[in-house]
Amino acid sequence: MAHPHLQKLAFQAATHIAEQGYTAYKKHQQSVPVQFMKAVEADNAYLVGQLLNENPSLIGQIGEALCKAAKAGHEDIVRLMLDKGASPSIPNTAGEDALYLAVIRGHQGVIRCLIDNNANVKDKRRSGTTLLHLAIERNDRSVVKLLVDHGAPVNVADGEGKHPLHRAVDSRDSDIVIILVENGADVAGKDRKSKTPLYRAVVRDNQSVVEYLLGNNAPVNEPTREGRTPLHEAAKLPSLQITLLLLSKGADVSVRDQNGLTPLHVAAAFGIESVLQLLLDRGAEIEAKDQRGRTALHYAADRSFLQSSVGQEGVLRVLLRYKADVNARDNSGKTPLQFLSGIKSRGGAKKLFAEHTMNN
Report how far apart, in Å, the C-alpha atoms of 324 and of each of 42, 160, 280 are: 75, 43, 11
- Give the CA count within 13 Å in the CB-facing half-sphere of 63: 12
Distance CA 341, CA 41 (A): 73
Residue 139: pLDDT band with limits 50, 70, 90: very high
Alpha carbon 69 to its chain's center? 28
**Identity at 337, one-letter amino acid code:** L
Cα 200 from Cα 280, distance rounded (Å): 25
Distance, CA of 357 to CA of 352 (rounded, Å) = 9
pLDDT score at 301: 87
Determine what percent of the chain is predicted with pLDDT higher than 70. Answer: 84
Q: Which residues of 194-220 are buried (b: 16+ CB within 10 A; e: fewer)?
A: ebbbbbbbbbebbbebbbbbbeeebbb
Other CB atoms within 10 A of residue 158 CB: 20
Work out the average pLDDT over 243-266.
97
Closest of 242, 222, 345, 336 to residue 289, by C-alpha? 336
Lowest mean pLDDT among 60-74, 216-230, 243-257: 60-74
Distances (CA, A) of 202 to 35, 225, 232, 311: 55, 16, 9, 21
76, burial (CB in 10 Å: exposed 0-12, middle 13-18, buried 19+): middle
Helix 207-215, helix 174-182: angle, nearest 10: 10
For 49, counting Cβ atoms within 10 Å of its Cβ (0-12 exposed, 13-18 middle, 19+ buried), the class is middle
Cα angle for residues 281, 282, 285 (degrees, 5° grid): 85
Give the model's confidence band at 337: pLDDT under 50 very low, under 70 low, under 90 confident, else very high: confident
| pTM, entire model | 0.83
In this prediction, residue 79 carries a pLDDT of 94
Which among 107, 114, 110, 109 is positioned nearest to 86, based on CA atoms? 114
Contacts of 92 (CB under 8 A, 6+ apart): 63, 64, 67, 68, 101
Reported as a pLDDT band with limits 50, 70 and 90, residue 237 is very high
Q: What angle do CA 127, 190, 168 make, to 5 degrees?
A: 65
Q: Please say if the pLDDT value at position 135 is more than 80.
A: yes
Tens of pLDDT, residues 311-320: 778 889 899 9
75 vs 99, 109, 116, 129, 148, CA distance in Å?
A: 12, 6, 13, 25, 21
Highest mean predicted confidence (pLDDT) among 30-34, 79-83, 306-310:
79-83
- Residue 168: what residue type? A
Residue 242, amino acid: I
Q: CA nearest 192: which of 249, 256, 235, 128?
A: 128
* φ, ψ at 172 (rounded to 5°): 65, 25
Of 307 and 199, more confident: 199
**CB of 223 closer than 8 Å to CB of 229:** yes
Per-residue CA distances from 268 to 237, 295, 346 (Å): 12, 9, 16
State the Cα angle at 136 between 70 and 122, rounded to 5°: 60
Q: What pLDDT score was predicted for residue 359?
A: 58
Within 8 A by CB and 6+ apart from 149, the residues are none
CATH class label, 99-185: mainly alpha
Question: Considering only CA atoms, which of 307, 293, 224 is closest in space to residue 261?
Answer: 293
Structural domain boundaries of the chain?
99-185
| 61 CA to centre of own chain | 35
pLDDT digits (tens, 9 = 90+) for 31-64: 888 888 898 999 999 998 888 888 888 888 888 8
Give how far the C-alpha of residue 272 lies from the chain's centroid of Cα atoms, to the nearest Å.
29
219 has pLDDT over 70: yes
DSSP assigned state of 193? T
